[in-house]
Structure 1
Amino acid sequence: MKNLWILILSITILSCNKNKKEANQSVEHSTNNKIETIPVEPDGGIGDGALSIIDHHLKNIEQAHQKDNFLKHKAVRFSIDILFGGKQHLTGDITMLTNATKIRIDKKDGSQLLYTKEKVFLSPKEATDKQSRFDMFTWTYFLGLPYKLNDPGTQWELEKMRPLRGVEHQTARLTFDKGIGDSSDDWYVIYSDPKDHLLKAAAYIVTYGSDGDISKAQEDPHAIYYKDFKTIDDIPFATKWEFYTWREDKGGITDKLGEASITNITFLDEEGSLFDIPENAKEIKQ
């Protein structure tokens, strides 16, 4: 009888240890050459207190791009030079709060775009710019994408590994809740390097101005490819952007459409009067 009780007790202990191990699955990742263990619940993170697999993936990207350090700064300013189809699209300086709630674009032609209090303004009033809202939000979104992964209204799905420049990258699809942004029908497929977790590319569609018919945008997705990373205040920034068509059935990025250069990246600790609306300005609603 004594031996029987010992056998029962041993089986019970082994069973408890197995259940405890399964309930506390974890994923290891490298940060600054140190291995950090982040608990990940089984079944996509249904359990209590642990990150889901997709949340863990997004967290890795945020850490790689030093999101916390970026948001410690009040604002960031950079110069941008964009070419599309061999033609100059935009040259100027962009200043934005790091939380993207205020934006200012000083264009080379002397005109100015401002976004504040959820409104877009163009100065001077006689200036014409049919793509004011597109320029206001597109380029700042591309710069700030690694810091906006968990914005309200974002929906994520982890997808398969996809090739990028001959290297397999982890991809994830981003969609938006209805009513988010100028067009909630946009989607993104982001590529992150499996080794350093930097965001290296993003396929996307632009549905703004489609009046609800997004079929044309769905047929012609584009992609931005981030390269030539430089570190500013310990934060990595891609200083060269390349734009391509994106075809899933042809392996991703295909024909080159344009490029952009990012220079003079600096952080500001105070916004002062940077985002004040000039007297000679008009609101752009569309």
Structure 2
Amino acid sequence: MKNLCLAIIMVFITSCKKDTNKSQINYKTETLDVTTSIYPEPISKVFHAHGGTDTWNAMKTLEFTIGNEKGDELTTIDLKQRKSRIELPKHSIGFDGKAVWVFNKDTTNYQGNAKFYHNLMFYFCGMPFVFSDSGIHYSEAEALNFQGITYPGIKISYDDGVGASSDDEYVLYYHPETYKMEWLAYTVTYFTQEKSEKFSFVKYGEWQTVNGLLLPKTISWYHVENGAPTEKRNEVIFKDVKISKEKLDASNFIAPKGSFIIE
């Protein structure tokens, strides 16, 4: 009996030593096999199809050019702080991290809404990765049927206070086989500050691979009837798209002398 008790005690002591050793593992240096995404599976697969969030998060600067009837406009974005600068033929628009500014290059006054526009086209060009920002909620949306293809939908909503219009709602539609983004539906509450049930639809037509990421080349707005897209209305082409790990100096986003600060 005495030998049996001694054996039980020795097993207990050995077990405690093993548990103590486990608690002393330095998990800061230990390599762990973590495969769970912080995003729901559907949106994770969309991000993966476009190059992955690890690649996107490593980038610091995005640059692209779009054309319109008044001439090309060059947009530069600090991806980490979301500072921006847009060079137009007669104007410059920027956001220095605190305020939006406008600089008139001649006597022509800028007629648009700079506070609304300074990052507008960036969000379209940064798809789908702008939907990996913090403060976002994902849920399943009703699928979109268009020309014989059923596109599953992911509804995007924001926490209160996130962005300039946290009541905006978005639905990302992806191809059921490739998981590439195909459509974007969105509401605009910036001007009314009220929730809207009127969705606009944008078709992501062509993509281009830039530094390991699949980014938009052409997007098209569609006419909408009964809450669904019908015919193409207009198209935007993203030219000379560049994305890099290099961070631009903050001076690139500072308002030039003589600029107007938009309150």
TM surpasses 0.5: yes
Distance 1:118 1:61, change over 3 A: farther
Which residue number in structure 1 is paired with residue 49 of structure 2? 64
Deviations 1:94-118 (A, max 9, x none): 1112336111110122x11111223
Match of 2:247 among 270, 279, 286: 270
Which residue of structure 2 aligns with residue 94 of structure 1? Answer: 75
Deviations 1:212-242 (A, max 9, x none): 344xx43x42111111212122221221110
- Structure 2: how far apart are the matches of 1:120 and 1:233? 29
In 2, Cα distance between the equivalents of 1:89 and 1:221?
28
TM-score normalised by length of structure 1: 0.70
Aligned to 1:179, the other structure's residue is in SS state: coil
Q: d(CA) in 2 for partners of 1:81 and 1:100?
A: 26
Offset from partner CA, 1:120-169 (integer Å, 9 cap, x none): 11113963233212221221111113112232221211123322343221
Residues 174-210 of structure 1, C-alpha deviations (whole Å, 9 max, x = no match): 1122222111221111101122212111111111111
- For structure 2, the 5+ residue unaligned runs are 1-33
Asked whether the 8 Å contact 1:103–1:114 carries over to 2, the reply is: yes
Is residue 256 from structure 1 mapped to residue 232 from structure 2 by the alignment? yes
Runs of 4+ more than 4 Å apart: none
Residue 115 (structure 1) aligned with residue 115 (structure 2): no
Structure 2 distance, partners of 1:197, 1:100, is 29
Number of matched pairs: 225
Q: For 1:164 and 1:102, how far apart are their aligned partners in 2?
A: 37
Q: Relative to total residues, which structure has the larger strand share, 1 or 2?
A: 1
Q: Output aligned runs, 1:44-193, within 5 Å.
A: 50=36, 55-66=40-51, 67-82=53-68, 88=69, 91-99=72-80, 101-109=82-90, 111-124=91-104, 127-193=109-175
Is this contact kept in 2: 1:221–1:245, CA < 8 A?
no
Give the superposed CA RMSD.
2.5
Counterpart amino acid of residue 102 in structure 2: L
Give the % identical residues. Answer: 20
TM-score if structure 2 supplies the norm length? 0.76
- Cα gap change, 1:155/1:246 in structure 2, threshold over 3 Å: closer, same or farther? farther
1:206 counterpart = 2:188: yes
Structure 2: how far apart are the matches of 1:102 and 1:284?
Answer: 15
Q: Provide the C-alpha distance between the structure 2 equivalents of 1:118 and 1:227, rounded to a whole number of angstroms.
A: 34
Letter aligned with residue 237 of structure 1: L
Give the Å deviation of 1:70.
Answer: 2.8
Gaps of 5+ in 1: 1-37, 40-49, 83-87
Cα pair 1:203 1:246 within 8 Å, conserved: no
What is the letter of the counterpart of residue 187 of structure 1?
E
Residue aligning to 1:31: none
